[in-house]
Structure 1
Amino acid sequence: MSTHTLPTPDADRTSRLREALQSAAFTSDGLLDLLGAPAYAALARSETVPALRATRGDSALETLVRLFLLQATVPYERARASLPVEDCVADGWLVQHGDEVRASVDVRPYSGPEGQDWWIVSDLGCAVGGAAGIGAGTSEVTGVTGVDRSQLVLGVGGASTTLAGITVRAPVARALDLGTGSGVQALHAAQHATRVTATDVNPRALGFARLTLALSAAPAADLREGSLYDPVAGDEGFDLIVSNPPFVISPGPRLKYRDGGMGGDDLCRALVQRSADHLADGGYLQLLANWQHIEGEDWRERLASWVPGGCDAWIVQREVQDAAQYAELWLRDAGDHRGDPAEYAARYDAWLEEFEARKARAVGFGWITLRKSGAEHPSVIAEEWPHPVEQPLGPSVRGHFERQDFLRGTDDAALLAARFRLAGEVVQEQVGLPGAEDPEHVVLRQNRGMRRATRVDTVGAGFAGVCDGTLTAGRILDAIAQLVGEDPVLLRDRTPESIRLLVEQGFLDPAGDPAGDPEPDAAREV
């Protein structure tokens, strides 16, 4: 167990600390202005030398950076000029040693989606970069004694921001942050949920989440200790469940923030399979996950089999690593590459042995979103999309499921009677030989959201270009048939499948059913 005591903040003193941080511009924007983009980016990679060079002055902001981000000791009187230092020592944010003070926790500025100034509290050296950022026992960097490495709590990393960006941000009554860690997702959920419950198997994580919420002036969450859905057994369904779980597929549990203690990808499978019992009707489950690529199995079919009945699902694989790459990634995360070579080799071998026993040849990284639709024939889509996307992606995720509702409830006749709008910032590209009369093919490309590209024929391109919500799909096709000299009945028969694909991928959005119907002659203006 850890002997490291977390701060126990008083509400009034925490408010004074927050005001001091804001007054000194100890914010994301303030750090960027002080450090400059290269040093700021290096700090996000746990590289501190550029930031140390940029904070050799004695301003309040430089003092706070050295205290909370660089884990340096600071003269007591210098800290007094920047902070309510007596309050910070009394509550445990700072530890005094003679005429100097040091931070007991990492406090890292973090910007909210609407420009809010927030602060994420985590273990020293663990704001990003995994357990490699802190040593066992007494750290020469932090001076923290007795922290059990298996209990470490990380701050904000790329996984945290990815999940925050893809989460659907609609006002909800009840939200659950399952595996809260330092409380990043609970902090986001508190902005649009009436009640937030946050759980973690690590009691230290609950303590850090409490600090993050308090320092960021967010409503307190209902914090519960336990694994998976056990802490909320018997609760009414949640409108939103988010989870950045300990998804690493490892040969054994070493670090609670990443190793779930279940074999293979069983933890992520359990989160998905059991979610329907804890979701309200229409509720979303959104999580980051790793999954095995098993020899002889299609990963898409394997993950689709996890989805409980009555739930739509959208599974996106963002990256794939072979077994060796994957083992090396997480061995470095734990700092094993800096230790004894023989021990490193033994651990590396254990990872590969585990993968071989499970016939896992690679591991996929990505996100899984479920919505409890209650549909008799749910939409379950698993796809690979390694290309850049536009964050925040939450609106696009919500739009995906809304379009699935539309397509499921719309037969071909209704589809042709519907109106559509071309999604924003879709461009058309024509590919062909220079000087050729007609392009070899036409590509529609999104510059927003998933940033997809899809090949269409000239009819599909013409159809999409005219969709502005005014004419029905059938009227547009009739006009195109007249222009190209094609039988309109045959064109109507063969086009719905193409329209469905454009809607599913987000190139076209249903435009509702405006009152009245354009005059037949209007179609001739296409």
Structure 2
Amino acid sequence: MSLREVLRHARYDADGVLERIGELGQEGLQRNITVPATVALAGQHDELATLIRLFILQEEVGMEEAAFLLDDAADFLEQTEHGVRALVDIRPYGSEDDGASGWAVADLTPGMDTATTPTRRDYVLGVSSASTTLAQMTMRTQIGSALDLGTGCGVQSLHLSRHAERVVATDVNARALKLARVTAELSGAEVDFRQGSLFEPVQGEKFDLIVSNPPYVMSPPSDSRLMYRETNFSGDELLQAILREAPRHLNPGGSIQLLVNWAVVDGQPWEERIRGWVEGNGMDLFVLERERMDKFSYIELWLADAGLAGSEEWVYAYDRWLKYFEDLGIEEVGMGWLLMTDAGRATPHVRIESWPHAVHQPVGEVFARHRSAVDAATLPLDDLLASRPRIVDVTQETFGEPGAADPEYIVLRQSTGLRRAMKVDTVLAAVLGSLDGDLTVGQVIAAVAELLEKDPTALSLEIAPKVREALEEQYLRLD
């Protein structure tokens, strides 16, 4: 029996584990605390309980209890005085929205139960909130080829293999590739793994989709840098390098999606910095800043992540990092989502904005529809008026004084995707609300103009910019 069959036979999957450790056990693990899960497993010694203890809770298990694993998981276990311990974290993985499932293999979680242990330089991170976010924002349209740039434990490749005919995954970390291969094998995904930095392993190749959560932590240069999060690039030059080279690796219509950080430099608007990196490359760009951190909070976050909290190195490392940021002029760090597409436009469409608000995950469909939304929003006026868009997943909210004849203002709010909100007047609300995919924009505007006794041509010119905005922001969809 293969290890995959052993795991399946024991029902070592996301549902099986949650059923055993319960919600409190799961929440404890999200805090890197094993106690609630250990309590939930008290007195249980079957195969599923043993797998949870070994590969998630990092407990030592007796030789007899682990006997069913010894032949097939020997490479992932070490013998101790009283039994065996896991050398890696093998954790069930499941995604409800696209069905990607299997097991993610990574290094054991450091700092479990508040233990302060230094992180090895070639440490391979498991499924994190960042990797989950990237998976949720990735377009899921059927494509021919995909590149998982900086694959880590390989979880993005599991998703890509669901909708790409061919998946290539790269990483500079040989240990990451080793564990990612096991992730793919256990999960039944076919992936072409290659070692090398950035695009070096795929020179001369092009893809329909590239995804990456690159090692974006902006830390001072160090020989002891953590490979999964840091590089020798200065500041946010890694992001700049990816954006410069990515166009050469995209098929016509292809896209790259990134979950990244960028520096907010004193005296320069962050939007202008990013815009300058892609100027002249012919690509559409869509950037959403999801979070902003001051330099102190940012440094403290990553020093703690490196296991330096409470250590003698904390103050020295903090001061060194502050000096590094001071030299680069970095006051804050932006964190967000980036989509760049070879849309073939004579004038590329660039939209960069801050969007820290709650969204409805997964948001992959928002990015998948972005190009067609821009196409619709930039139609010539005659074509726009002849189009038949429909309003989708939008609710209308009205506000005003009780008993008033008309509302003070009206808000159209998306119930899915980015959950944007648009303040409109009664005329615009009537136009947008009447677009059902059957009537043209021109027909609806003409009907509203007749009702209000307005000139339809003048109303068209007045309403068209708002219709374009509603199309680009996906209140309206032109299928």
**What is the TM-score normalised by the length of structure 2?**
0.95
Q: Which deviates more, 56-65 or 153-162?
A: 56-65
Looking at structure 1, the residues matched to 157 and 86 of structure 2 have their Cα atoms a distance apart, in angstroms, of 24
The unaligned stretches of length 5 or more in structure 2 are: none
- Cα 1:133–1:275 change in 2 (3 A) is farther
The 5 Å alignment of 1:27-426 reads: 27-56=13-42, 57-80=44-67, 83-89=68-74, 92-97=75-80, 100-112=83-95, 113-125=97-109, 135-136=117-118, 149-219=120-190, 221-235=191-205, 237-253=206-222, 254-307=225-278, 309-340=281-312, 343-408=313-378, 410-424=379-393, 426=394
Looking at structure 2, the residues matched to 134 and 399 of structure 1 have their Cα atoms a distance apart, in angstroms, of 45
The one-letter amino acid of 2:70's match is V
Looking at structure 2, the residues matched to 199 and 115 of structure 1 have their Cα atoms a distance apart, in angstroms, of 23
Question: Is this contact kept in 2: 1:73–1:102, CA < 8 A?
Answer: yes
- Cα 1:28–1:48 change in 2 (3 A) is same
**Structure 1 residue aligned with 2:401:** 433
The one-letter amino acid of 2:450's match is Q
Whether 2:426 is the aligned partner of 1:458: answer: yes
The 5 Å alignment of 1:469-488 reads: 469-488=437-456
Q: CA deviation at 1:492?
A: 1.2
Question: Is this contact kept in 1: 2:207–2:249, CA < 8 A?
Answer: yes
Q: CA deviation at 1:96?
A: 2.7
The 5 Å alignment of 1:505-524 reads: 505-511=473-479
Q: CA deviation at 1:494?
A: 1.0
Looking at structure 1, the residues matched to 430 and 72 of structure 2 have their Cα atoms a distance apart, in angstroms, of 67
Q: How many residues align?
A: 473
Question: Is this contact kept in 1: 2:376–2:468, CA < 8 A?
Answer: no
Q: What per-residue deviation string (whole Å, max 9, x for no partner) do you get for residues 331-380 of structure 1?
A: 1111111311xx21111111211111111110000011111112111111
What secondary structure sits across from 2:73 in the alignment? helix
What secondary structure sits across from 1:37 in the alignment? helix
Q: What per-residue deviation string (whole Å, max 9, x for no partner) do you get for residues 274-294 of structure 1?
A: 110111111110111101111
Looking at structure 2, the residues matched to 362 and 84 of structure 1 have their Cα atoms a distance apart, in angstroms, of 49
Q: What per-residue deviation string (whole Å, max 9, x for no partner) do you get for residues 245-297 of structure 1?
A: 00011112411100122101000111112110111111110111101111111
Looking at structure 1, the residues matched to 275 and 16 of structure 2 have their Cα atoms a distance apart, in angstroms, of 45
Looking at structure 2, the residues matched to 400 and 117 of structure 1 have their Cα atoms a distance apart, in angstroms, of 27
Q: Report the aligned-residue RMSD.
A: 1.7
What secondary structure sits across from 1:413 in the alignment? helix
The one-letter amino acid of 1:102's match is R
The unaligned stretches of length 5 or more in structure 1 are: 1-12, 137-147, 512-526
**What is the TM-score normalised by the length of structure 1?**
0.87
Looking at structure 1, the residues matched to 168 and 99 of structure 2 have their Cα atoms a distance apart, in angstroms, of 24
Question: Is this contact kept in 2: 1:183–1:209, CA < 8 A?
Answer: yes
What secondary structure sits across from 2:437 in the alignment? strand
Identity of aligned residues (%): 44
What secondary structure sits across from 2:248 in the alignment? helix
- Cα 1:261–1:134 change in 2 (3 A) is farther
